[in-house]
Amino acid sequence: MKAWVLHDIGDIRYEDVDVPVAAPGEVRIRVAAAGICGSDIPRIFETGAHRMPLIPGHEFAGTVVDTGKGVAAFRSGKRVAVFPKIACKKCRMCREGHPELCTDYDYTGSRRDGAFAEYVTVPAENLLELPDSISFEQAAMLEPLAVAANAVRTGCFAVPKTAAVCGAGPIGLAVVMMLKHLGCESVFLIANKDAQKERAGLFGIGDEAFCDSRYKDPSKWLSDVTDGGAEVYFECVGNNESIYYGIEGLAPEGRLVLVGNPASDMSFSRDTYWKILRNRLTLSGIWNSSFSQADQDPEECGDDWHFVLRMIAEGGISPEKLISHRFPLEELDEALGVMKDRKSDRCKVMIVS
């Protein structure tokens, strides 16, 4: 089969590799759609993967074409999305029923071969069967959407009247979509590109609810437009400045949800730290998402992935609006170039077959 293999930092090649064989408890999937995550860029071009050579790609969906020994629930032909984190089932978090917090995990696309290929093998218990109404492209976005759902469910004990999101990438805009679907009266967005403002309009963010941080102080703007501060602030960028906007722009007893992967070291000034104390702010960190294994009734699953799947099926959110570019597998190198270009108008870049 054809696959993109990362041999070393910056050295990714489109080449022929053996078709993977489904081990006991696994299935082989023909990949139909795979999204490029922001984390794929440093993994490929800056830091490398946990092991190399490796086929990256962890946001994907496709069709089951083969099953390993012991797999009966998911037969060939099933349309599925895949939870990429593979829990060890032995650590304390796994034993206590929180495999998403596993401390000794494997991970498709960063620790084992992933989906920038024609086929990939994964544990059958990590599959999420798709209803016919969900497209492969929508399903390939379930992973970042579930991260957004984790953030929203962490930050919103009840639906807030006012919420702010900093960052207009796929996860930030997914948070916006979910907040609006859940009934948040006023959702505000902070970003710094003209194209982001235009795209935000697709999700109901008008001029009065958009702050371009190049021209306005977001913390002062947020305090003004919310009459004293937002109830919840979602930091979807990963830098000190955007965290500061939230701390300064939250109402007393507000909640700040840290979502963005850190771009550098983080630090608080003394005044900022005092602000957290005096306003009794709550800071929560999220990473990844919760997932119920495939043998459970999907209607009874309360995890992030099924939460998102139901939202899409109900027409509550439209993740396909996040897709800015589509490329065939053989043009992944061009797609990665679009992702690396921070000045380009891009949101979710999708590889489709």
3-state SS record for the chain = CEEEEEEECCEEEEEECCCCCCCCCEEEEEEEEEEECCCHHHHHHHHCCCCCCECCCCEEEEEEEEECCCCCCCCCCCEEEECCEECCCCCHHHHCCCHHHCCCCEEECCCECCCCECEEEEEHHHEEECCCCCCHHHHHCHHHHHHHHHHHHHHCCCCCCEEEEECCCHHHHHHHHHHHHHCCCEEEEEECCHHHHHHHHHHCCCHHHEEECCCCCHHHHHHHHCCCCEEEEEECCCCHHHHHHHHHHEEEEEEEEECCCCCCCCCCCHHHHHHHHHCCCEEEECCCCCCCCCCCCHHHCCCHHHHHHHHHHCCCCCHHHHEEEEEEHHHHHHHHHHHHCCCCCCCEEEEEC
Amino acid found at 25: G
Give the pTM: 0.94
pLDDT in tens, the chain (353 residues): 999 999 999 999 999 999 999 999 999 999 999 999 999 999 999 999 999 999 999 999 999 999 999 987 667 889 999 999 999 999 999 999 888 899 899 999 999 999 999 999 999 999 999 999 999 999 999 999 999 999 999 999 889 999 999 999 999 999 999 999 999 999 999 999 999 999 999 999 999 999 999 999 999 999 999 999 999 999 999 999 999 999 999 999 999 999 999 988 999 899 999 999 999 999 999 999 999 875 556 666 789 999 999 999 989 899 999 999 999 999 999 999 999 987 778 999 999 99
CB atoms within 10 A of CB 197: 18
Report how far Cα 3 is from the mean position of its chain's Cα atoms.
23
Predicted pLDDT at 342? 74
Cis amide leading into 99 (omega within 30): no
Q: Which two tokens stand for residue 139?
A: 């399903």
Strands 26-36 and 348-352: antiparallel
Predicted pLDDT at 41? 95
**CATH superfamily of domain region 2-140+289-352:** Medium-chain alcohol dehydrogenases, catalytic domain (3.90.180.10)
Length of the chain: 353
List of long-range contacts for 280-284, beta carbons under 8 Å, 24+ apart: 280/252, 280/253, 281/247, 281/250, 281/252, 281/253, 281/254, 281/255, 281/256, 282/253, 282/254, 282/255, 282/256, 283/255, 283/256, 283/258, 284/154, 284/155, 284/255, 284/256, 284/257, 284/258
Predicted pLDDT at 332? 98
Predicted pLDDT at 295? 56
Contact assessment for residue 59 and residue 80, using Cβ atoms and an 8 Å cutoff? no
**CATH superfamily of domain region 145-285:** NAD(P)-binding Rossmann-like Domain (3.40.50.720)
d(CA 290, CA 337): 31
Residue whose C-alpha is closest to residue 128's, from 176, 59, 191, 189: 59
Domain boundaries, the chain: 2-140+289-352, 145-285
